[in-house]
Structure 1
Amino acid sequence: MEFINKMYSKCFCLCLILVFGAWSSEATSRNVQDASIYERYEQWMARYGRHYNNMNEKETRFNIFKKNVAFIESSNNANKPYKLSVNQFADLTTEEFKGQRTGFKGLGDIPSPTTTFKYENVSVVPSSLDWRTKGAVMPVKDQGQCGSCWAFATVGALEGAIQLSTGTLISMSEQELVDCNVGGENEGCNGGYPDVAFEYIINNHGLTNEANYPYTATDNVCNATESGSPSGSITSYEDVPVNRELDLLKAVANQPVSVCIEAAGEFSFYESGVLTGPCGTDLDHCVTAIGYGTSDDGIDYWLLKNSWGTDWGEEGYARIQRNVEAVEGMCGIAMSASYAIV
């Protein structure tokens, strides 16, 4: 009996050693993994100049960063025709990102310019087009931590329309729209609508240029002197018929167009390739459609100019899938599009 008890005791001890050993090994593995991701976090902070107020905030941001990295790597491991990157937004939650880096207030009851569509009868368009090669697109800008995408999308469409009409490409002022197109639906860094911005430009008899009224990424008092010195004007604007990608194609084939999309999610971390989803239709961000084409993989795409600087995407630009089954288009691109008429 004593022999049996001793054997039982030895077996019990051995089991405890094995269990604790397994726990220790698992904990060590997690620690090594956390150490590796934390090193990446430190490198990311150095690259993007991130500084936090205290260790608690740094730890909170690290946990968000770790979650976003897992999301990005999971997508990149899925053999998709596009890649995501651990970019400047990697320490933001989805809601923080939307609050700081987008700015479209969503589909609402805003004024509609007209029921006409000037490109309705266009029957032939080029198989591909890039308005950058035609001299109708200014370099990529950066809206900063200000919900002013609506102003940048409007200006991108405006700059293109003016260049195609006059032959001169002028960098127009987003800040004038942020400061002066307020008191109604548009609210500066708190969001707005391109259509309302077009209405302001018409009523103000034009918009001044960026050199006169430079961008600050903040809400300021309207500079009446500079806003009263327009550098380019339009006579009207039109909306592209809703949920009709073919009509959007006709418009973009003739000029740069302001479009609004859902940007929270994979689009926010986009690096390269043709984004094919998943992507919803909860519109929160506006960009400028400056072309279209077909990738080497045979995927039709829209070419978009964003306003998050050149570190994002393909040097500030993105390609998202065109001719999708959903009538709203990829990321809702066919739901709210408009262009200027000079």
Structure 2
Amino acid sequence: MGKHLTVILLLFLGVSLLANAEGFVVHPDDLGDEARLWSLYLRWLHSFNVSRTEDEMRKRFHVFVENVRFIEEFNKKGSSFELQLNAFGDLTNKEFLLLYAGFKPDPNATNNVTEVFEHGTDQFVPKSVDWRARGAVTRVKDQLKCGSCWAFAVVAAIEGLNMIKTGRLVSLSEQELVDCNPYAKGCHGGDRRMAIYFASRIGGLTAETNYPYRGYQSTCQTNRLKDIAAKVRGLGLVSQNNEYALMQAAARQPITVSVDATTWQFYHKGVFKGPCGLGLNHGVTIVGYGTTVEGTKYWLVKNSWGTGWGENGYIRMLRDVSPEGLCGIAMIPAFPV
């Protein structure tokens, strides 16, 4: 290890306990020079329990610095939402998406639809819905370094439907979908709609306790699939490119959607307003919607990047912006039946 880096590491170790006690905070002085930035990077590695070799540290330090400066500059401008340095701090955006976004559209996804939810003007729609408050949402989970967002999005929707139908909230198995769904590629991506269809073909999903998540694809444990904890009858679709229809559907049950999450890496809090496009690359679950006290309409979305990201694992996204919705949220909504 170089002399310069060694000195910084020794200084860092001397204050590591204090840093942990205070929590991870970036101060303006941290950006003053390279020595302070190295100290900040080492403190970040320690705070988020990230392991890097010396060579990796030297390579990733420059990525880390670019990310820190981007976050600080963005927050200075003022917006409806804030960014924050998190566990993805020394990843490029391309690396981040490769590891944590995994929606891969399947051309056969609409071949086996059981139900289509159409827009209905005569239907009563509540002004706000939060399925968490109704006991239909399990804890925020972490997909780890696996492109299995599609599985987590589907499981969250099935968990919600199961609670609505039976009154029991059961945490279900994402690993079952990662290992056993023949219509996906495990950690290399999949289509939410085909995952729902697969779940309906086998009758439903087993509990997470029966088939725990590993964060990588393995051989399907077929003996565990017999113990169904939540039934699924079929695949439902919401009429595309219609945010009002999506709101009506979300008032009935949690809905899985695909979005362009390219700019989500450091989202921290507030109503996200973009920028983002319509290149769908990530699967999430709408678990409600509402309006801020300032009058801003939003979707309440459950993600699968752990509670250290966003608003304890959730993101609020601007609602009623276009037929496709912000980041394409209304383009291909789906739900379990």
Per the shorter chain, which TM-score range?
0.7 to 0.9
* Contact 2:117–2:237 (8 Å) recurs in 1: no
Q: CA shift at 1:32, angstroms?
A: 4.2
User: Structure 1: how far apart are the matches of 2:280 and 2:267?
Assistant: 17
Structure 1 equivalent of residue 336 of structure 2? 340
Q: CA shift at 1:160, angstroms?
A: 0.5
Q: CA shift at 1:328, angstroms?
A: 1.4
- Alpha-carbon spacing, 1:108–1:175, altered in 2? closer, same or farther (3 Å): closer
Structure 1 equivalent of residue 24 of structure 2? none
TM-score w.r.t. the length of structure 1 is 0.86
Alignment of 1:210-289 (within 5 A): 210-265=208-263, 267-289=264-286
Structure 2 equivalent of residue 60 of structure 1? 59
Give CA deviations for 1:280-328 in whole Å, capped at 9, x if unaligned: 111111111000001122210000111111111111111010011x321
- Alpha-carbon spacing, 1:91–1:300, altered in 2? closer, same or farther (3 Å): same
User: Structure 2: how far apart are the matches of 1:193 and 1:123?
Assistant: 30
* Contact 2:153–2:284 (8 Å) recurs in 1: yes
* Contact 2:143–2:304 (8 Å) recurs in 1: yes
Q: CA shift at 1:118, angstroms?
A: 3.5
Give CA deviations for 1:176-228 in whole Å, capped at 9, x if unaligned: 0000003x3x0111100111111111111111110100000011100011022
User: Which amino acid is 1:243 matched to?
Assistant: N
Structure 2 equivalent of residue 80 of structure 1? 79
User: Which amino acid is 2:240 matched to?
Assistant: V
User: Which amino acid is 2:138 matched to?
Assistant: M
User: Structure 2: how far apart are the matches of 1:210 and 1:61?
Assistant: 35
User: Which amino acid is 1:329 matched to?
Assistant: G
Aligned pair count reads 307
* Contact 1:119–1:250 (8 Å) recurs in 2: no
Structure 1 equivalent of residue 94 of structure 2? 95
User: Which amino acid is 2:91 matched to?
Assistant: L
- Alpha-carbon spacing, 1:32–1:76, altered in 2? closer, same or farther (3 Å): closer
Structure 2 equivalent of residue 306 of structure 1? 303
1:161 maps to 2:161: yes
Structure 1 equivalent of residue 25 of structure 2? none
User: Which amino acid is 2:335 matched to?
Assistant: Y
Q: CA shift at 1:116, angstroms?
A: 4.9
TM-score w.r.t. the length of structure 2 is 0.87
User: Which amino acid is 1:92 matched to?
Assistant: L
Q: CA shift at 1:243, angstroms?
A: 1.1
The SS at the match of 2:199 is helix
Q: CA shift at 1:75, angstroms?
A: 1.6
User: Structure 2: how far apart are the matches of 1:167 and 1:137?
Assistant: 12
Q: CA shift at 1:154, angstroms?
A: 0.3
After superposition, the CA RMSD in angstroms is 1.8
Give CA deviations for 1:234-266 in whole Å, capped at 9, x if unaligned: 11121111111111101101100001111122x
**Structure 1: 4+ residue segments shifted above 6 A:** none
Q: CA shift at 1:43, angstroms?
A: 1.2
User: Percent identity, aligned pairs only?
Assistant: 42
The SS at the match of 2:188 is coil
Q: CA shift at 1:31, angstroms?
A: 9.5
Give CA deviations for 1:158-181 in whole Å, capped at 9, x if unaligned: 000111011111111000000000
User: Which amino acid is 1:136 matched to?
Assistant: A
Where in structure 2 are there 5+ consecutive unaligned residues?
1-28
Structure 1 equivalent of residue 192 of structure 2? 194
